[in-house]
């Protein structure tokens, strides 16, 4: 049966625990096969059991969300109504807090007989929202969220006569929630700013301004200096330097000319371009990239999933311990009931798992954003976590380690100059579409446009021949020429040799080779420094060439002469002996099966490649291998920050729980242990966004 997945914008949920509650609630709606709520990215991803019941099921989803979180606002992608972000500190909330603070302040100035009523007034006005949410959750049988724990602790404080602390705890909890909300929204805005590459409008050739979505392939658009290119296309007029930093992370602009292909999201810095649109906006590279980044957080890392499961067990367990703490010592030790109840209430305030529930997903969210800032697209926190656990790195050769385009690297001429030999070869090769033929023609300076009436004959796998001004020219491999009775020179270097003859004379040879990328050697060195135990190259190229490159790069193993299905088999054998994750890096065009099979599939040069974006877990938007090391650095920094928050939150809470149990910590310290730790953890999680690329 077919499924349908829909992303829905969701706002008005201010805690990660509430988000987890909504996620579980929606997942249980009839007709929903799977639900994932990305709290940091404010997206609810729903997979419906069937497209036929999508609309009906969506209405039930909305109803369920509002039952769990009445303030939540859902918006479908096709919805055009205003979705201005909900303001946490609303005007009515400010007024309620002001009334509460006034009552709280007056309470210190009046006789004790009426203090309780002022404290009660202050408590109700300041904690109105917390109390309302807690009662609503209680009616639905959903206990143990932070609102319930805060209500239980503060009401308990009132019961034992700790009026001042009850009101103060609620006040500082609300203030902490405000700063927490501000920190989360700041991180969301930072992510949005990093991926602010969505074009707003397109200018047609006749001067009309339209939405990019309304432009159809074949139409021409005008892009002026300083403007962002709105759609993928081919330049028909003009030259310019393009700023591609938003897509690739590269700070150096590149020059583009007529006939060059350009991508939406890049910026023309100094020239006006007329571009013929190649594909619609929804099929453009920038649309796919934006969608990829927006959906990345739905694929949660194992650490995130563990923390969610941990919190569901942790909070009820702490409530039970608090109950035992309040009851057993007075019964067994004849201790003060009010004193131990107070300790139990402090214990409850400290126990809220907000710091973990919020900072962990936000850490991965920030890591994905930081990677995108460097031109590295990671499809989820699970893949980001896998990146820092790579033990075996498997690389394709062509297009990954090498440039992927052949170049003339050596010429040996016997009876003429090297340039003349190159021109002879180009005359017979210029009508062929073979990459080797193209590289020879490209290397010739000033080749006459006249072809001398040449008639090309191409022999598959051997070479080409043709007549030029009455003379028979041939260009091909050594085996073919030997069959024809020639004695070609011996091939002593790596690369592809093209031997040239004219009539019955052997003229010499041209050697063609695929060059290493400029950062390949540095990348291999940096990857080994980062602890990659084994680096292997898989290629369909011939063994001699592959081994020469492997030796040059000091690779651990080289396997050559592989067909696509044999690459998969070779990868599976390597995975059996890996001590951690196995990653495969390919160009994303002919390596899709291997990219899919690897623990982590990494596509090189994915800019504009649909296959790369679809097949890979990680897409490196430039052609440079150095981004591999950058990707691992981001992954490891993300892991470091996530674990810092785990140890910090659990460590502080453990200390204060013990202090609370022994009566050393008061409600004031308890508020810091809850809200203060949460705010600090959130700020730590967003540090990744501020690290320079």
Q: Which residues are marked as active site? A: 396
* DSSP states of 491-533: --SSSEEEEEEETTEEEEEEEEEEEEPTTHHHHHHHHHHTT--
Nearest Cα to Cα of residue 294 among 44, 464, 123: 44
Sequence-distant (≥ 6) Cβ neighbours of residue 476 within 8 angstroms? 459, 462, 463, 464, 465, 498, 499
Three-state secondary structure call for residue 572: helix
Tokens found for residue 12: 């008005």
Burial class (CB in 10 A: 0-12, 13-18, 19+), 394: buried
Give the Cα separation of 258 and 365 in Å (integer). 39
Half-sphere exposure of residue 667, counting CA atoms within 13 Å on the CB side?
23
Give the Cα separation of 316 and 655 in Å (integer). 19
Tokens found for residue 162: 């700790």
Spatial contact of 466 and 454, defined as CB atoms under 8 Å apart: yes
Terminal CA-CA length for the chain: 45
Give the Cα separation of 391 and 291 in Å (integer). 30
Give how far Cα 598 sits from Cα of 316, 531, 549, 559, 574, Å.
40, 19, 23, 17, 10
- CA 86, 88, 90, 95: dihedral to nearest 10 degrees? 170
Give the Cα separation of 530 and 524 in Å (integer). 10
Spatial contact of 290 and 256, defined as CB atoms under 8 Å apart: no
Give the Cα separation of 74 and 192 in Å (integer). 19
φ/ψ of 413, rounded to 5, equals -110, 135
Tokens found for residue 631: 């990707």
CB under 8 Å, gap of 24 or more: what pairs does 571-576 form? 571/394, 571/538, 571/597, 571/598, 572/597, 574/392, 574/394, 574/534, 574/536, 575/392, 575/599
């Amino acid at each position: 049966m077919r499924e349908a997945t829909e992303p829905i914008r969701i706002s008005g949920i201010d805690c990660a625990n509430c988000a987890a509650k909504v996620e579980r609630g929606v997942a249980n709606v009839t007709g929903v096969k799977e639900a994932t709520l990305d709290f940091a990215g404010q997206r609810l991803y729903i997979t419906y059991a069937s497209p036929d019941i999508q609309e009906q099921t969506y209405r039930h989803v909305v109803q369920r969300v509002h039952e769990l979180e009445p303030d939540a606002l859902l918006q479908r992608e096709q919805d055009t109504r205003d979705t201005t972000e909900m303001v946490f500190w609303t005007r009515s909330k400010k007024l309620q807090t002001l009334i509460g603070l006034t009552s709280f302040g007056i309470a210190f100035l009046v006789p004790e007989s009426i203090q309780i009523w002022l404290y009660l007034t202050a408590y109700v006005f300041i904690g109105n929202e917390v109390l309302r949410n807690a009662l609503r959750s209680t009616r639905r049988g959903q206990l143990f969220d932070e609102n319930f724990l805060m209500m239980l602790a503060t009401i308990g404080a009132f019961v034992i006569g700790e009026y001042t602390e009850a009101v103060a705890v609620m006040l500082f909890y609300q203030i902490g929630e405000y700063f927490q909300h501000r920190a989360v929204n700041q991180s969301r805005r930072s992510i949005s700013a990093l991926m602010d590459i969505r074009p707003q409008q397109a200018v047609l050739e006749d001067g009309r301004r339209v939405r990019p979505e309304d432009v159809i392939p074949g139409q021409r658009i005008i892009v002026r200096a300083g403007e962002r290119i709105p759609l993928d296309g081919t330049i028909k007029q003009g030259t310019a330097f393009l700023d591609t930093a938003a897509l690739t992370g590269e700070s150096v602009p590149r020059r583009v000319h007529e006939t060059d292909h350009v991508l939406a999201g890049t910026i023309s810095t100094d020239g006006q371009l007329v571009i013929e649109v190649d594909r619609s906006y929804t099929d453009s590279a920038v649309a796919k990239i934006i969608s990829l980044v927006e959906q990345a957080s739905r694929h949660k890392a194992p650490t995130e999933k563990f923390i969610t499961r941990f919190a569901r067990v942790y909070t009820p367990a702490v409530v039970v311990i608090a109950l035992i703490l309040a009851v057993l010592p007075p019964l067994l030790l004849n201790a003060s009931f009010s004193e131990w109840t107070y300790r139990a209430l402090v214990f409850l305030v400290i126990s809220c798992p907000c710091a973990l529930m919020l900072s962990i997903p936000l850490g991965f969210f920030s890591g994905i954003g930081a990677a995108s800032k460097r031109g590295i697209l990671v499809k989820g926190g699970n893949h980001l976590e896998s990146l820092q656990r790579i033990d075996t790195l498997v690389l394709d050769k062509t297009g990954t380690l090498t440039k992927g385009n052949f170049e003339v690297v050596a010429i040996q001429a016997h009876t003429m100059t090297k340039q003349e030999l190159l021109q002879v070869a180009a005359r017979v090769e210029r009508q062929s579409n073979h990459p080797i033929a193209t590289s020879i023609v490209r290397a010739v300076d000033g080749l006459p446009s006249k072809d001398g009436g040449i008639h090309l004959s191409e022999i598959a796998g051997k070479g080409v021949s043709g007549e030029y001004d009455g003379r028979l020219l041939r260009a091909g491999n050594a085996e073919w020429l030997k069959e024809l009775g020639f004695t070609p020179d011996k091939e002593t270097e790596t690369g592809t040799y093209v031997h040239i003859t004219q009539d019955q004379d052997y003229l010499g040879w041209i050697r063609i080779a695929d060059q290493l990328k400029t950062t390949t050697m540095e990348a291999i060195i940096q990857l080994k420094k980062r602890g990659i135990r084994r680096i292997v190259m898989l290629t369909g190229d011939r063994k001699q060439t592959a081994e020469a490159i492997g030796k040059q790069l000091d690779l651990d193993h080289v396997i050559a002469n592989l067909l696509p299905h044999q690459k998969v088999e070779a990868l599976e054998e390597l995975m059996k002996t890996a001590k951690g994750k196995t990653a495969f890096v390919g160009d994303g065009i002919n390596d899709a099966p291997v990219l899919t099979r690897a623990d982590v599939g990494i596509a090189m040069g994915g800019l504009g490649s649909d296959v790369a974006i679809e097949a890979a877990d990680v897409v490196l938007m430039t052609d440079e291998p150095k981004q591999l090391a950058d990707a691992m650095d981001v992954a490891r920094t993300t892991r470091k920050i996530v674990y810092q928050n785990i140890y910090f939150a659990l460590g502080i809470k453990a200390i204060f729980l013990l202090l609370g149990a022994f009566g050393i910590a008061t409600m004031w310290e308890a508020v810091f242990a809850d809200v203060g730790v949460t705010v600090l953890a959130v700020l730590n999680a967003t540090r990744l966004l501020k690290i320079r690329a």
